[in-house]
Every structure is written in structure tokens, then in C-alpha cells.
């Protein structure tokens, strides 16, 4: 009867689905798609060490079963690694792209200088000699990262466009002047407030600096970028 045929078709469909699922779970971990070719891109700091940490971990995977969290753990000891992205190409290649934290300032404590990223992470081992990076002093550090006033300074310096970043002479925190204060070569003192909205604040500062009358100001306050004064 029609009802019997429907039951048989449903049963056959379920069997077929089970077979396909079983084949998929077998294939995703099969040597047929094992990762044998690993390419690591984007790392300019500690690139050899980062590649050496990622490659053996990646070669334990397949191109159909990539464990992103395992790859992240493999490079968790490198503070310069902000994130990674894995792109599998069947059958055997895995391309891993590293997004780096690059130094934007130098943190000085106890006579030692350590590079700092725009998100406040300390980057021990990164050579900053001769870079001319602005210095952050007296900041609090927790779990390898600047906090509070130091983090705000790093965020502002890191948000600076290249043409203005090269003109930064000093960066500091002064509560009486609203927060982060930046001294620029050939320009009035710039007051940024906290570390938020750095991009918008630098855009506002650049717009004011283009005004011929700005040169006569003792300072420029961009803590509220919509109302730079």
C-alpha cells in the first residue's frame, strides 16, 4: 500500500542519512585530508618562533577539522600575537594569518624599557632601540598589560595617524589638564581626555591644526572631538 511504501522510503532515507553522516565523520579526521602543508603569514616579530609553535599543532589536524582554539593556545605565550585566522585548502594545506600587536610606545619601569601596543599589552623582547617611540612612565601593570592612565596613553598614541605620530615628542597623564596630554613638534599642546575614541580625536586635532589661527593657541582640547577647542 501507499502507506507501506512511504514507511520504506522514510527508512531508506534515514539509513542513507546515517551512512552519509558516518562517512563525513570518518572523512573529516581521515589522513586523506590531513594537514601536511602549513603556511604562516603576517608575523614580523618572532616570526620563526611563532611558525615553529603553530606548525606541529596544525599538522595534528585535518583541513576538514581545524581547531582554532588549539591554534590560539599554541601562540598564547607570544604577546605580539593579537589574533590568528586559519584558512584550510583541501586536501592538505592550512594557511594561518597572524594579526600582530605592534609597538607604539615604550613603558619605563625600574630603569627598563618595554615596548607597548596600542591596546596596552607589554611586548617584552621586542627591540625598540632607535624607534623614537614616546615613553609612558609610572603606569600600573596587571597581567602583562597597562591599566588606567597608562592604557589611555597607549590607546591615544596608537590611534595617531602616521603623519602626526612621527611628530609626537611626549605623552603623559595630567588630571588637571583633563587626562592624556600629547606634545607635538611644531604644534600646541594637545589634550585628549581619556583613551576612548582616539581616531575621532586625532581627526579633530588634524582639522584644527589646518586652521591658520591654531598656531596662536597654547593648547587644543579634543577630549570631545565634536567640540574641539
| Average pLDDT of the residues of the chain | 89
94-118 average pLDDT score: 91
Q: How confident is the model at residue 40 (pLDDT cuts 50, 70, 90)?
A: very high
Contact of 225 with 197, CB cutoff 8 Å: yes
214: confidence class by pLDDT, cuts 50, 70, 90 = low
More confident residue, 220 or 26: 220
- The tens digit of pLDDT for each residue in 165-195 reads 999 999 999 999 999 999 999 899 999 999 9
What is residue 213's predicted lDDT score, i.e. its pLDDT?
A: 67
Taking the C-alpha atoms of residue 178 and residue 26, their distance in angstroms, rounded to an integer, is 62
Let me know the angle formed at the C-alpha of 89 by 88 and 95, rounded to the nearest 5 degrees.
50
Contact between residue 105 and residue 134 where contact means Cβ atoms under 8 Å apart: yes
When pLDDT is cut at 50, 70 and 90, the band that residue 228 belongs to is confident
Q: Bridge partners of 3? A: none
Q: Calculate mean pLDDT across residues 6-26.
A: 69
CA distances from 111 to 48, 144, 185 (A): 29, 17, 26
Can you give the pLDDT at residue 97?
A: 97
CA dihedral of 84, 68, 40, 80, whole degrees rounded to 10: 40
pLDDT over 70 at 215, yes or no? no
CB atoms within 10 A of CB 46: 21
28: pLDDT strictly greater than 70: yes
How large is the average pLDDT for residues 98-113?
89
Amino acid at each position: 500500500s501507499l502507506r507501506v511504501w512511504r514507511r520504506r522510503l522514510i527508512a531508506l532515507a534515514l539509513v542513507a542519512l546515517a551512512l552519509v553522516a558516518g562517512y563525513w565523520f570518518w572523512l573529516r579526521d581521515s589522513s586523506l585530508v590531513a594537514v601536511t602543508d602549513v603556511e604562516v603569514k603576517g608575523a614580523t616579530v618572532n616570526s620563526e618562533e611563532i611558525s615553529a609553535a603553530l606548525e606541529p599543532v596544525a599538522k595534528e589536524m585535518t583541513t576538514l577539522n581545524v581547531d582554532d582554539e588549539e591554534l590560539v593556545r599554541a601562540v598564547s605565550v607570544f604577546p605580539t600575537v593579537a589574533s590568528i585566522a586559519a584558512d584550510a585548502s583541501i586536501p592538505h594545506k592550512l594557511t594561518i594569518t597572524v594579526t600582530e600587536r605592534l609597538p607604539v610606545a615604550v613603558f619605563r619601569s625600574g630603569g627598563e624599557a618595554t615596548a607597548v601596543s596600542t591596546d596596552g599589552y607589554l611586548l617584552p623582547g621586542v627591540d625598540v632601540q632607535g624607534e623614537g617611540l614616546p615613553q609612558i612612565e609610572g603606569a600600573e601593570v596587571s597581567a602583562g598589560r597597562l591599566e588606567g592612565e597608562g592604557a589611555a596613553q597607549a590607546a591615544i598614541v596608537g590611534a595617531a595617524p602616521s603623519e602626526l605620530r612621527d611628530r609626537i615628542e611626549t605623552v603623559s597623564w595630567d588630571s588637571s589638564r583633563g587626562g592624556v596630554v600629547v606634545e607635538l613638534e611644531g604644534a600646541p599642546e594637545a589634550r585628549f581626555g581619556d583613551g576612548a575614541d582616539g581616531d575621532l580625536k586625532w581627526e579633530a586635532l588634524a582639522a584644527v591644526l589646518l586652521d591658520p589661527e591654531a598656531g596662536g593657541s597654547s593648547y587644543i582640547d579634543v577630549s570631545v572631538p565634536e567640540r574641539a577647542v
